[in-house]
Amino acid sequence: MKKWKKKEIESKPKFKTLNIDGTCYKTNLISKFENRKKYTVPDAKKIISVIPGTIMKVFVKEGQKVKRGDNIMILEAMKMQNRIKSPRPGVIKSLKVKEGEKIAKGVLMMELE
């Protein structure tokens, strides 16, 4: 049986447990993976832009009731007009953008109650 020297013990990699769908794996994790932004469940009441673009038309006003699938606004990106639809029924709590405004990816465009 081999006896480990102190330096050999310290230089051994320290494994971490990675759980994927209930199966645990012992692995080395790189710093990029360990420092990544953690996943959070999206809030269905907040409508956030997924691409940068220009707000061409807003079809709703604050306080207006909307049904699931109603057109809310048109976002022009890369010469295409994307219709943003209501993901759920509700009332428009606040509009954060206006027509003609250029927005970046990840901008809160509107909130539902």
Could you read off the pLDDT of 40-71 as tens digits, one per residue?
A: 888 889 999 999 999 999 999 999 999 999 99
Is 88 inside any structural domain?
yes
Q: Tell me if 103 is assigned to some domain.
A: yes
Counting the structural domains of the chain, the total is 1
Domain membership of residue 95 as a residue range: 46-112
Please tell me whether the overall predicted TM-score, pTM, comes out greater than 0.75 for this model: no
Rounded Cα distance between 61 and 50, Å, is 22
Residue 13 has pLDDT above 70, yes or no: no
The residue type of 36 is R
Which positions ≥6 away from 88 have C-beta within 8 Å?
44, 45, 68, 112
b/e per residue 9-37 (b: at least 16 CB within 10 A)? eeeeeeeeeeeeeeeeeeeeeeeeeeeee
Q: Within a domain: residue 20?
A: no
